[in-house]
Chain A
């Protein structure tokens, strides 16, 4: 209960700070839309030159992208921890966090929220419905439920990976430029993983399981039954990775000794 009321207090505070710089807020929402558009343009331009991508049609690829945007939007809103090392370790902000009676990771999530990224989920749904209607996909009553479960699984996968990367800071005392680059890798989960060779497919499935954020769950809605097994693994992988990351985080916090001064 305490955590929930804390959450809403932070949201209220967040709104106030955001509305202070209104022009920037609008630009930021616009820049998110732009980012989503760029990826869509990539797909559209590519399909100007080819009919199928290893047997997947343009609309199927667009559908996968639309699905991907939803968990990605939730992830970017609540797990905006890419500058964790600089902000919390190097500048010693973590000291302040640790003196408070809420779980440290939860508190950092609250502090770094970027709620305007949630607009991405709206775009994602729109893209999905557009592609879905062109493909003539039928919606059954279980689909919305499964959709929610798969989206949450995807968010946990993303969150787990990025929390683990943030944890590196507890052990290695260096600035990490890994996170921004990891965003690029995350994009590959949006494409049918059977176009990659087995090594990359293995990495995207079991090591950096980004495929569970896009193509595997989307395959279920596209009726690609050969991948249903993977689709239903999505929440499992999400829970496993996220639990693991929280465990590593707790271990890391125990090791943390604070910055110089």
Chain B
């Protein structure tokens, strides 16, 4: 266990060494959220609410969705692809830890760094600039905290799955990009899922993506309260468990047919 905590710590410190460029990052994220703010205001165009969200709730939703993204987002799929392509993975596999576990912990170290040095200060700046609604309810904050941890796991598991496919496809930059685009759309980062037409919502209910962005953001904006929030968390937890299966299966097959392409 200690070695995994050490992984988190090392990755955190690594990120800390490069922290300066995160300050510009906060600025750019703020502009990004600001532009969304105006876009959504134009979309609302005087309407008091759309699909149960008021304009202020919508701004909060967008801001929280992007700031939460800084926490759950990581590039471990790309890192895995490079390590597999360069043959470094062979060395990783004989080391005394689980490779996938280690990657997850590195992602977590990155996420914790971004949460404290990026999301929190970014959120403060954005909240000063644009009208937003923060809940005073401790339960909402508690649910939100659990929810973004679960988002992290779902997103990371999907990244691990994409990373593992490098063993079979040898070169999967296209797949990695496709996955990112799909997650942005289906997770509710760009648009709350409740805005989609009914048939699309029905379809998306059976996918793990909404657990990444939609559920935590809805909890934070009080779009989900009480039993709805608990249901959301349950759904996320179920997906975390389900996703373990394909990862383990693919991992076992992958290790058997490992081809080192050089290095």
Interface residues of A (CB under 8 A from B): 21, 23-32, 34-35, 38, 41-42, 45-46, 48-50, 52-54, 172, 174-178, 181-182, 184-185, 188, 191, 195-197, 200, 203
Contacts and interface: CB of A to CB of B under 8 A. Distances in A.
Given A53-B42, A185-B35, A196-B38, A31 B21 contact: no
A50 B47 CA distance: 9
The binding surface of chain A is classed by DSSP as helix
Given A34-B178, A200-B34, A177 B21 contact: yes
A41 B28 CA distance: 25
B128 interface: no
Contacts of B22: 177
Given A50-B47, A184-B32, A188-B35, A24 B21 contact: no
B248 interface: no
Contacts of A25: 174
Interface in B38-52: 38-39, 41-45, 47, 50-51
Interface in B186-231: 190-191, 195-197
Nearest to B191: A45
B38 A197 contact: yes
Contacts of B143: none
Contact of A50 (B24, B43, B177): B43
B49 to A, nearest CB: 10
A152 B223 CA distance: 45
A48 B41 CA distance: 15
Contact of B191 (A29, A42, A54): A42
A24 B31 contact: no
A130 B259 CA distance: 47
Interface in B41-73: 41-45, 47, 50-51
Given A41-B185, A50-B45, A54-B42, A28 B35 contact: no
A35 to B, nearest CB: 5
B184 interface: yes
A49 B174 contact: no
A195 B22 CA distance: 28
Contact of A195 (B38, B175, B178, B181): B38
B249 interface: no
